[in-house]
Amino acid sequence: MSKSLQRPSGFEGCRFGEASLPGRKPAAKTRCFEEVVPVPPKTGKPHAPRGRHDRLRGGHLKGMTARDNLRELIQGSDPKLGRWSKNKAVYTELLQVMQTCSIPKLISTLSQAQAAGAYNWPEFAKASGRLKELEEIRHNMEEACGSVCIDDMERLICRASAVGICRKSLRAEREQSEQSIEPEFQHLVSALEKRMHKLRILREDLRICAQSLDMELISNTLKVAEEFGAGWEDVRDARVRLRMLQSSLAEMTELLGSVSEAENCHLKEKIHEALMSFDHIEEDAPPPLGWVLNALRVQYNRIRLEGVAGLRDRLTREILAAGKDANLELLRAAVAEADTQFYSMDSSKLPDALHATRWDELEHGRRCLAQLVEIEAELELVVTPSTIPPSPAAIIAAIARADAAGCSTWTLRSAASTRLRQVQSLEASILKAVAAGSEDLLREAMINAQCAGFVAWPLLNAATELFRGFKETAGQEERALLWQSFISTTAQRLLAELAEGEPFGGCAGEVADVEVAFVGIRLESECPEMLPMEMLLEMFEKA
């Protein structure tokens, strides 16, 4: 059967040229003359390369790459060296030492590899680089044990963890992470972590010292910082704080010592300025600053109490003297100063001894001041120029009240006396002119009244109307009515003066006869006969 299937010798190296059987592909031409076109693969199956010439020798590209890497790993870049076949032990040790952090092991393995001629291996270069990195980390850790930069230490610890010096493992039973350290680096890592912990505590203490008043705490913290050699900004702030507290302590001690010496007018102000700079400090501040500050506060309160007591005594003397002499200006100034120094300020700032004590002299001074102010207003009212002169009874009452209060030396009191004499003189001249029936005397009295400014004086107007009526009226009855009107107007004015004079007790003696005159006027006004002018003159002279 095998012989029957053999190709004839004449057709060796070629195909049959006959037509193909049904269902078969036609015979392809010779490969040298016609390109072979591959049949597309069926759907759902992997695609073959575009042509056989595109295929890699030995299989797919990934497989070829893996085989090349394996061949290089075993034989090395140098075909003469066989790392796996000839130096299997050195190659294995180099691979193992790459996973350790022991510097002596790396040095020993590299020495053996170099003696074996493996100095140009990639593993040798990697092991040498790891040795340099570990030596650099160890050198940096040794230097960091004397450093104060916490950030550099933290970065160094992170770098050591990255290379495998420090490893963290999670324990399932406690769910806590435990750190395993390479024995060779254990003392360095422990020293570094302890130093970082101490430096963190030191930095926190320095930040507290920047706001603290405890000089002993600041001094001890600065000593620790000096032992570490820290040159931080917090250290400088703490030193500035300590110098400021020492300077303040020396200043307050000097002020405290000068309290017992001779009296200094600026001592109170100096102590006040020193206390104001430490107003926020509590009474239980740490010593020695707290002790000196409390002692200075006690001395300041004592000096202030003495000053306030002396000021109160002085104002009391001034108030009593001004009230006795009826000196309105001094009394007003003393009362105003007392109100400003004691009662207008915050009561919490007053000494307790003075705040709880009544000041009767000041209350008496206030009442006396109010009375003198009223007297001054009354005198100014009767003295002030006006078109209608004040009534003599009002002037007499104001003068009597001023004399009763001891204001006889006042300028206003003298002016009121002058005004009283002026008004009484003008009234007398007008009444005399009316009694005499002389227009010349009335004109003279009118000129004097106008010169005095009494242009709207009702008495003067009534007298003028009386004379005008006498000229225009010739009948006796009409003249009697005019006379009766003049008398009633004058009597009403006297009654008004009496009503004004009744509230003042000091004028009762001066106007005692006026009421009798009013009674006479009332009795005479009821009679049809005309009141004699002499009686009216007597009434005005008594008024």
- For residue 53, pLDDT beyond 60: no
Which residues partner with 181 through β-bridges? 166
- Residue 387: what pLDDT? 85
Q: For 325-361, what is each residue's pLDDT tens digit?
A: 888 888 888 888 888 877 654 444 555 545 546 788 8
Residues 449/431, Cβ–Cβ less than 8 Å: no
- Residue 283: what residue type? E
- Residue 237: what pLDDT? 92
Confidence of residue 488 (pLDDT cuts 50, 70, 90): low
User: Which residues fall within 8 angstroms of residue 347, CB to CB, at 6 or more apart?
Assistant: 355
Does residue 483 or residue 235 have the better pLDDT? 235
Q: Which of 119-123, 226-230, 267-271 has the lowest mean pLDDT?
A: 267-271
255 exposure class (CB count in 10 Å sphere: 0-12, 13-18, 19+): buried
Confidence of residue 39 (pLDDT cuts 50, 70, 90): low
Place of tokens 């570990």: 134
Rounded to the nearest integer, the mean pLDDT of the chain is: 74
CA distance 290 to 273: 17
Does residue 495 or residue 409 have the better pLDDT? 409
Residues 140/158, Cβ–Cβ less than 8 Å: no
Question: What percent of the chain has a predicted confidence (pLDDT) above 90?
Answer: 19
CA distance 239 to 210: 9
- Residue 543: what pLDDT? 47
- For residue 3, pLDDT beyond 60: no
- For residue 407, pLDDT beyond 70: yes
- For residue 196, pLDDT beyond 90: yes
210: which 2 tokens?
């920047």
Neighbours of 461 (CB within 10 A): 13
- Residue 509: what pLDDT? 35
Please give the model's pTM, rounded to 2 decimal places: 0.46
Average pLDDT over residues 101-126: 88
261: which 2 tokens?
């010496």
User: Which residues fall within 8 angstroms of residue 85, CB to CB, at 6 or more apart?
Assistant: 74, 75
- For residue 369, pLDDT beyond 70: yes
Report the SS3 class of residue 45: coil
User: Which residues fall within 8 angstroms of residue 303, CB to CB, at 6 or more apart?
Assistant: 259, 267, 268, 271
Q: For 441-461, what is each residue's pLDDT tens digit?
A: 878 888 888 888 888 887 777
CA distance 420 to 387: 15
Place of tokens 């202030």: 304
Confidence of residue 118 (pLDDT cuts 50, 70, 90): confident
- For residue 264, pLDDT beyond 50: yes
Confidence of residue 2 (pLDDT cuts 50, 70, 90): very low
- Residue 76: what pLDDT? 53
Confidence of residue 373 (pLDDT cuts 50, 70, 90): very high
Which phi-psi region, left, alpha or beta, contains residue 406 (left: φ > 0; alpha: ψ -120 to 50)? Answer: left
- Residue 135: what pLDDT? 92
Q: For 127-160, what is each residue's pLDDT tens digit?
A: 999 999 999 999 999 999 999 999 999 999 999 9
CA distance 200 to 148: 10
Looking from the CA of 23 toward its CB, the CA atoms found within 13 Å total 0
CA distance 97 to 131: 10
DSSP characters over 270-331: HHHHHHHHTTT--TTPPTTHHHHHHHHHHHHHHHHHHHHHHHHHHHHHHHHHHHHHT-HHHH
**Closest of 513, 510, 466 to residue 489, by C-alpha:** 466
Does residue 490 or residue 429 have the better pLDDT? 429
Q: Which of 107-116, 233-242, 478-487 has the lowest mean pLDDT?
A: 478-487
